[in-house]
Structure 1
Amino acid sequence: MEKKSLSIQIGQRLRFYRQQRQLSLDDLASLTGVSKPMLGQIERGSSNPTVAILWKIAAGLQIPFGSFLVRNPSIKILREEEQPKFQEYNDLFEAHNTFASPGVPFETYRIRLLPGCTHLSSPIEGLKSITVHSGTLTIEISGESCTLQKGDAISFSPATNQVYQNLGDEVCECNQVIFYTIH
């Protein structure tokens, strides 16, 4: 999806969730820790928010991050080219959202880490489950490091920062499921 149309879509989804909850921009700023002017720019589609900003907004609204990326939540089949995705770290990290639906407290991702990739994931309330399908994933959670090979899985509370690394020579592919704590 083109960057400008993605920004417009994110803005429309943000406005929908804010209005659905009958929140002003000031209320939303208080909930999320994102400034009112930035939220206004995002809603108008005039700002391309970072992944970190979107995570803060999603956490404040208690919705899955992928809710901003899904055009029609009733879609059952998502072809690879239709899956919302984001890339970071000079395209060494790539995440495809394979399921997110408003009102459902979990979402799934297909993740690729190219050799040499280090990805920092911010804390959220809930539970993460990761299954490695190829390559090797080294993950550090609360200072504890573990290495997962093909077929290995891990689940944990992501209440602190996590560091994901591909220290190997081949692409690491894994699936991630995030279950959000609803208050």
Structure 2
Amino acid sequence: MEKNQLNTLIGRKVKEVRKRKGLTLEQASGMTGVSKPMLGQIERGISNPTVSTLWKIASGLDEAFSTFIEEPKPDIIHIRAEELQELDGGHGGFVVQPVFPKERDRSFEVFYIKLKRGGHYHSHAHQDGVEESLFISEGEVEVMIQERVYTLKKGDAFRFQANVDHSYKNGGEEQAVMTLIIHYQKERFL
């Protein structure tokens, strides 16, 4: 991104945040320690703010620094099945297709999982606050959490705290397919 484009992006974002919070330039200036004229120049994209200035604005307006430099995301994302990459899980018959990988501003990621007949996968504990949700679309999946086994069949949904070791096993006679959503604990600034 060119410097002028970046200045325009930053200016637009600063103005959006200020307006969303219902602040005048003068109020924003008081909260951030950045002069009213400088904020106005930044918002119009005619000033190239330093990192220090952006940090002041971010801190004063209680926003993540990256809010002001992120390019806008599309309103719609369409991923075709044939575009998904298959990653071998490295364990017997476990295949992963990342659908929506974790992004900085989202607290979840989505995968399609295929477990071949007899396939299995062991996952070590995630950090506290991580939750997994499973939706079984084909076959049968056994989920083991701390020595307890839950048998899930087509159409079943299952959610659990994933801060303990857990595993998945295809306990049926055919391939099992599921959607896995991993929810991460939302932090103040992702």
Cα distance in structure 2, aligned partners of 1:90 and 1:109: 17
Unaligned runs of 5+ in 2: 1-72
Percent of aligned pairs with the same amino acid: 25
User: What residue is the counterpart of 2:122 in the other structure?
Assistant: 120
Aligned-pair CA distance for 1:84: 3.7
Cα distance in structure 2, aligned partners of 1:91 and 1:79: 27
1:151 aligns with 2:155: yes
Match of 2:82, SS?
A: helix
Unaligned runs of 5+ in 1: 1-72
Cα distance in structure 2, aligned partners of 1:148 and 1:117: 15
Aligned-pair CA distance for 1:167: 2.0
Residues 137 and 154 of structure 2 are in contact (CA less than 8 Å); yes or no, is this contact kept in structure 1?
yes
Aligned-pair CA distance for 1:143: 1.4
* Count of residue pairs brought into register by the alignment: 111
Cα distance in structure 2, aligned partners of 1:136 and 1:180: 26
1:107 aligns with 2:109: yes
1:98 aligns with 2:102: no
- CA distance change for structure 1 residues 139 and 90 in 2, over 3 Å: closer, same or farther? closer
User: What residue is the counterpart of 2:87 in the other structure?
Assistant: 86
Larger Rg: 2
Aligned-pair CA distance for 1:83: 2.1
Q: Which amino acid aligns with 2:166?
A: Q
Q: Which amino acid aligns with 1:129?
A: S
- The list of structure 1 runs, each at least 4 consecutive aligned residues, that deviate by more than 6 angstroms after superposition, is none
Cα distance in structure 2, aligned partners of 1:144 and 1:122: 15
Aligned-pair CA distance for 1:144: 1.0
Residues 83 and 98 of structure 1 are in contact (CA less than 8 Å); yes or no, is this contact kept in structure 2?
yes
Describe how 1:35-54 pairs up with structure 2 within 5 A.
none
Q: How well do the aligned residues superpose, as a CA RMSD in angstroms? A: 1.9
1:141 aligns with 2:142: no
TM-score norm. by structure 1 comes to 0.56
Cα distance in structure 2, aligned partners of 1:93 and 1:86: 9
